Amino acid sequence: AAPPAATAATVPVFNQEGLSISFAVTPLPGQPGAVDITATYSNAGLDDVADFNLQAAVPKYMQLRLEPASSTLLAALGGAASQKLHVVNTLVGQKPLVMRLRVNYSKGGQPVAQQLEVNNFPVGL
């Protein structure tokens, strides 16, 4: 019998001034430590978010591949974009999945830079 399809766990990452980032984390069946992450970026604020760019870094015991985001513009009042990240934790069961993010964008003509640490991934990844 085929293994049951893995279900995605949603991890809230950031929510400030109308900009929110969340990760849908899906373990890959038959590949211990491997996960696909769909990052969703949304803007509920009154100003457009332009030049949106997310950079991610993981510890040396992990491998990360980041695909381009679907858009760098998150329009005011509901604009959204998504991005795929592929991560392999080579020390699954020994070390948790963690990630550092650098988020850059401009809002109202002003550049904004945020640095975040994501350490609230589900246990066992």
Pick the residue with more confidence: 15 or 2?
A: 15
In angstroms, rounded to a whole number, what is the distance separating the alpha carbons of residues 10 and 89?
A: 18
Return the closest-CA partner of residue 98 out of 80, 123, 74, 73.
123
- Which pair of tokens denotes residue 78? 């509901």
Q: How much of the chain is in helix, strand and coil states, percent to nearest 5?
A: 0, 55, 45
Q: What is the pLDDT of residues 50-64, one digit of tens each?
A: 999 999 999 999 999
Amino acid in position 97: L
Q: What is the pLDDT of residues 69-100, one digit of tens each?
A: 999 999 999 999 999 999 999 999 999 999 99
